[in-house]
Amino acid sequence: MKKTILLALMCIAAIACDKKEDTAPQPELNAISVPYRQATKVSASGTDLKVELKEVTDSRCPINASCVSAGSAKLVLTVSDATSEVDVSVEFEGGSKDNAQEFQLGGATYILSVSEVLPYPELPKSPRLEDYKIGVSIEKK
């Protein structure tokens, strides 16, 4: 009898501790692959923008190394529409969900999100700048 009561209390405790997500699901943004120094068209709420990866400073820990911190990749992208352009700086931290930067272009406000930075560093070599491709999505605010 004691075992049954103990088992029932454990089940109730497990159900009570179950975490529920009350937030509405965020819409999935389609990331476009942007290669280094090649203008790529990205659609943002019906507006076509061109995105070009200008600079990459990659200090992420190589996949085959032990590091104290994971590091990050600092990116500079040029975003343009038919009339103007702006440089947008983003710091990409792989485990973070906050790899986004707000910017203004042509009187509108956009949010640029980076979902991946490839290739990932690996010892003993470092990726060449020409090898970098990043996953980018832009949303009109």
Supply the pTM of this predicted model. 0.71
- 55 beta partners: 76
* In the chain, domain spans: 30-140
Handedness of CA 12, 16, 22, 27 (dihedral sign): negative
Handedness of CA 80, 86, 89, 90 (dihedral sign): negative
* Assigned CATH for 30-140: 2.60.98
8 Å CB contact between 41 and 50: yes
pLDDT tens per residue, range 98-128: 788 999 998 889 999 999 999 989 888 888 8
8 Å CB contact between 131 and 119: yes
Kindly tell me if the per-residue pLDDT of 27 is higher than 50. Answer: no
Query: In terms of pLDDT, which residue wins out, 9 or 108?
Result: 108
The pLDDT of residue 69 is: 86
